[in-house]
Amino acid sequence: MAIFKGAGVAITTPFKENKEVDYDLFTKQIENQIAGGTDAIIVCGTTGEASTLTHEEHLDVIRHCVKVVNKRIPVVAGTGSNCTDTAVYLSVEAEKAGVDGLLVVTPYYNKATQKGLYEHFKIIADAVKVPIILYNIPGRTGGVNILPETVVRLCNEVENIVGVKDATGNISQVAELMALSKGKVDLYSGNDDQILPLLALGGIGVISVLSNVAPKQTHDLCARFFEGDVEGSRKIQLDALPLIDALFCEVNPIPVKKGMELLGLDTGILRRPLTEMEEANAKKLEKAMKDFGVL
């Protein structure tokens, strides 16, 4: 059974001016997502600035999310690392915290081979019982790409590796993956501008940045597709494109944290090396949010 179906939000992590995690505001963000119909919370991913959290902070944010959500919807924790032992540690501790699943990114910087990727993910999966979604995002991992054959092999041979978040942007590769998988791989879009195309190829949802500022619309995009209303789903996808473009006009999560500020859910500072959004881009984002009806 899939960890979740539909729109999962890659939730931001709010910080105070003193750089500490703002847990009160984080609670508000979680409640806002649940009220908006989000189907799952994905905590401590790229959008959650996990790369700048200490291990202690990382796990505390996961624990807080699990506690606040309280089983109302699934919680999936990002626990990947370029160090296999570190990923095992974070994954084991996240499982102890009560998460429903794990999102494990391709190792970055090391640039592993396909054999190395297989062993990395298998070692992590063997250390836990909760289901795992692989996270394939070559743009952030030095171009390292989990090939379709490797994804399918992992899902076939490792019981608790169940799917992949695909952020390659390569529709042809996704089609090849789904042809090889024969229904064995749970596919989630990792790109908000390609939600509908990946659903059409057999995907079951999205792990979304857009959902931070538009939870209902992102949920509805998926739900309408599953209900057979492809035209309704298509309209949401196409109408959202200017906002999606604005949310990625600077590196994620710079724009989405500005979007949260505009919604009155100010996520505070960005941890360096990320910087505040350029004024011209911020105006573009504000206009796109208004045009899409979320502001």
Q: Would you name the residues annotated as active-site residues?
A: 135, 165
27: closest CA among 83, 57, 70, 59?
A: 70
Q: Is 170 helix (H, G, I), strand (E, B) or coil?
A: coil
Q: Which helix (H) or strand (E) holds 9?
A: strand 6-10
27 contact partners, CB below 8 Å, separation of at least 6:
64, 68
Task: Report the DSSP beta bridge partners of residue 140.
Answer: none
Q: Which residue has the tokens 């993956």?
A: 177
293 contact partners, CB below 8 Å, separation of at least 6:
none
221: closest CA among 187, 192, 201?
A: 192
From residue 41, alpha-carbon distances to 18, 71, 209 in Å are: 26, 11, 11
Task: State the Cα–Cα distance between residues 253 and 216, nearest whole angstrom.
Answer: 20
Pairing of strands 186-189, 205-208: parallel
Task: State the Cα–Cα distance between residues 7 and 119, nearest whole angstrom.
Answer: 30
| Long-range contacts, 288-292 (Cβ 8 Å, 24+) | 288/242, 288/243, 288/245, 288/246, 289/213, 289/243, 289/246, 289/259, 289/262, 289/263, 291/242, 291/243, 292/214, 292/217, 292/239, 292/240, 292/242, 292/243
